[in-house]
Structure 1
Amino acid sequence: MRAVGVERYGGPEVLRVVELPEPHAGPGQVRIRVHAAAVNPADTLLRAGVVDHLLTELDPPYRPGQDAAGVLDEIGPGTQTDLRVGDRVMAIVTPIEPSGGAYAEYIVLDADQVAHAPAGSSHAEAATLPLNGLTARLALDMLRLPPGRTVAVTGAAGAVGGYAVQLAKADGLRVLADASPSDEELVRRLGADVVVARGADVAERFRAAAPDGVDAVIDAALLGTAVLPAIRPGGALALLRSTGEPGTDLLAGLPNGVTVHEVYVPQYGHARDKLEQLGRLAEQGALSLRVAGTFPPERAADAHRALEAGGVRGRQVLEFGHQNQENV
């Protein structure tokens, strides 16, 4: 099968289309004929070698990709699932596990990593939901804010930030969000109650809208310490990347009893009920599936370059065509 992998770490140019043995589903597993795999910031970390210490049980080429969408085409012996061969599905993938990443024509996963794709969605659209939607869902679940409380979201126009805004509204929260002038209308359409200008001093603008401080911040823009002044005493900060990882700062001396939650989405890697719930919300129009652009596997490097250049709204998606097979 064709896949996109890296034999050596580096910039986007190290991504290559490679031929790998076709995998088959074992007990408790299913196989997806992948039509689409979203491109996420975590994929660039794998490509650059930042997570090399987590790949000790795998052999190169290492394969990025944490979202897959396509058609279920194989169910392993003894697997208990209501999914059926031919179902359109989406899945969250963990590239550091034996399955490898989602950048491949076929991927084998545990059945509880796979859910029905939202009805009416394209494969590319469905591929934008699992990782980013579950990340936002986990952040809100960790914050445990009751309806009526206030949450601020940074990076609200991005993929994770957009889902955080929409899921927070579905949870009955008041949502403050940041946006550039060109993104303000988009963020309002996502459902934010108050939209402020983005930037390093965004905490001051959040405070102007919530003088006593917000109950929590979901920091999709990775602003770190810059958003702490927006949070009320005893409030919380949800970090979408561990402190000290690329793009983050080390948090120290947190003010007024603020609690920090590090959102590690593999905690929901087998939470099929959460993924199915996200699919239902997408079907209802409560979640917007935003595809920023599509690329064939041979142009994976271009997709990574576009992501790293910034300003992407939604997700870039790699599309795998399957010759002599119907694009169900």
Structure 2
Amino acid sequence: MRAVVVRTFGGPEVVEVADVAVPEPGPRQVRIKVAAGALNPVDVAVRAGFFGGAGKVLGLGWDVAGTVDAVGAPTAWEVGDAVVALVPGVTDPLGAHAEYVVVDADAVAKAPVSVDAVHAGTLPLNGLTALQALDQLELAPGASLLVTGAAGAVGGFAVQLAARRGIEVVGQARAGDEELVRSLGAARFTADGVEPGGVDAVLDAAVLGEPALEWVRDGGAFMGVRPGGHPGPVRGVRTASVSVRPDAAQLAELVRLVDEGVLTLRVARTYALEESAKAHARLAEGGVRGRLVLVP
């Protein structure tokens, strides 16, 4: 089968499509015939060597939408089930950007019925990151939250999920994205930030770091999206970063919110698997609104 891999670190030019063996599911695993999967910044980080793995073949791709193709007992999943899943792994030889992928059964949820596989393939990683980040912040209804990068994939989901929880969301993005960010549920918009100490918490989807920390009130909270990349605590502000993990129940909840129209799945463009290097080059150019999606 075909799979997107890197054998050396570098720019988009190191991305290649290789012929590899079709993986077999073990106990409590399922094999998914991939229909679509988003390209994410974590794939760029793997490609660039941020997570290590020099000298190894590294697979790319964390998001998958597709159909169960084989199962390893015991599992409730059946061949033919339409599913979505998170395929975590930064130094594994096979990722979700492939024709087939094997994942643990507890990383899988039924696919949304209201959208196609291309759109469904943008949900797992970014949706779970936003949801788990909000859970770690533990904000009560009425609290104020500034989301940086609110027009992006993680930021957009965070705005929608936080607003649904009754949190007052301030969306931070480029000036041209104001209409989009407000449509996602932000009560306020800023292109520059807020006054120092102006919000109860920040969810830093844009990875601004120290400057965004200044916007949090004394004793507030700061949540980053790059594991270990958050600034240290100051002024009693609790700081941490989310390390996304597979969670079938949470993913099923996100799917339900998609089908109820609460969450918006945004696709900027699709690429064939053989065009993976082109997709990486487009992502590197910046300014993408919605996800680039690879289709085997």
Q: Tell me which interval the TM-score lies in, with the shorter structure as reference length.
A: over 0.9
What's the offset of the Cα at 1:97?
6.6
1:66–1:101 CA contact under 8 A, matched in 2: yes
Unpaired segments ≥5 residues, structure 1 = 245-249, 321-328
What's the offset of the Cα at 1:84?
2.2
Match of residue 214 from structure 2? 229
Unpaired segments ≥5 residues, structure 2 = none
Match of residue 74 from structure 1? 70
Match of residue 60 from structure 2? 64
Structure 1 residue runs of 4+, over 6 Å off? Answer: none
- Residues 118-138 of structure 1 show CA distances to partners (whole Å, capped at 9, x for unaligned) of 112111111111000000001
1:95–1:102 CA contact under 8 A, matched in 2: no
What's the offset of the Cα at 1:96?
3.5
TM-score by length of 1: 0.86
Give the match's secondary structure for 2:64: strand
Determine if the alignment matches structure 1 residue 257 to structure 2 residue 236: yes
- Amino acid aligned to 2:122: T
What's the offset of the Cα at 1:152?
0.8
Q: 1:292 aligns with which of 252, 268, 275?
A: 268
Give the match's secondary structure for 1:166: helix
Match of residue 21 from structure 1? 21
What's the offset of the Cα at 1:170?
1.5
Match of residue 101 from structure 1? 95
Give the match's secondary structure for 2:214: helix
- Residues 131-176 of structure 1 show CA distances to partners (whole Å, capped at 9, x for unaligned) of 0000000110001111111111000000000000001012111111
What's the offset of the Cα at 1:41?
0.4
After TM superposition, list the pairs within 5 Å mapping 1:1-328 onto structure 2: 1-52=1-52, 55=53, 60-76=56-72, 78-81=73-76, 83-96=77-90, 100-198=94-192, 202-204=193-195, 213-244=198-229, 251-252=231-232, 254-265=233-244, 268-269=245-246, 271-320=247-296
**What is the root-mean-square deviation in Å for CA atoms of aligned residues?**
1.7
What's the offset of the Cα at 1:304?
0.9
- Residues 49-79 of structure 1 show CA distances to partners (whole Å, capped at 9, x for unaligned) of 1112xx48xx843111110111111111x22
Give the match's secondary structure for 1:257: coil
Give the match's secondary structure for 2:9: coil
1:203–1:226 CA contact under 8 A, matched in 2: no
Paired residues, what number?
A: 296
CA distance in 1, matches of 2:91, 2:85: 14
TM-score by length of 2: 0.95
Deviates more, 1:305-314 or 1:133-142: 305-314
1:99–1:109 CA contact under 8 A, matched in 2: no
Give the match's secondary structure for 1:32: strand
Match of residue 326 from structure 1? none
CA distance in 2, matches of 1:12, 1:97: 18
CA distance in 1, matches of 2:191, 2:7: 42
What's the offset of the Cα at 1:314?
1.3
- Amino acid aligned to 1:79: P
Give the match's secondary structure for 1:203: coil
CA distance in 1, matches of 2:167, 2:114: 28
CA distance in 2, matches of 1:137, 1:175: 15
What's the offset of the Cα at 1:181?
2.5
**Larger fraction in helix:** 1
- Percent identical among aligned pairs is 48
- Amino acid aligned to 2:120: A
2:58–2:91 CA contact under 8 A, matched in 1: no
Give the match's secondary structure for 1:255: coil
- Amino acid aligned to 2:240: H
2:114–2:258 CA contact under 8 A, matched in 1: no
CA distance in 2, matches of 1:234, 1:109: 40
CA distance in 2, matches of 1:99, 1:31: 16
What's the offset of the Cα at 1:243?
4.5
Give the match's secondary structure for 1:184: helix
CA distance in 1, matches of 2:120, 2:40: 14
1:118–1:283 CA contact under 8 A, matched in 2: yes
